[in-house]
Amino acid sequence: MRSTLLPSLCFAILFPTHFACAGPVRFPAEACEQAVKAAAELRLAGKQLHGEYKCTLYAERADSFVVALRYAGPEVEPGTSNLVGYYAVKRQSGNVHEWSFSDDRQGQVVWPRHAN
CA dihedral 36, 40, 42, 44 (to 10 degrees): 80
pLDDT of residue 50: 81
Show me where the domains of the chain are located. 23-115
Write down the pTM of the prediction: 0.78
Q: pLDDT digit string (tens) for 1-55? A: 334 333 333 433 333 334 456 789 999 999 999 999 999 999 999 888 888 999 9
- Tell me the DSSP string of 103-116: TTEEEEEEESGGG-
Using the predicted structure, report yes or no on whether residue 116 has a pLDDT greater than 80.
Answer: no
pLDDT of 43: 92
pLDDT (tens digit, 9 = 90+) per residue, 45-104? 988 888 899 999 999 999 999 999 999 988 888 888 899 999 999 999 999 999 999 999
Contact, 110 vs 96, CB < 8 A?
A: yes
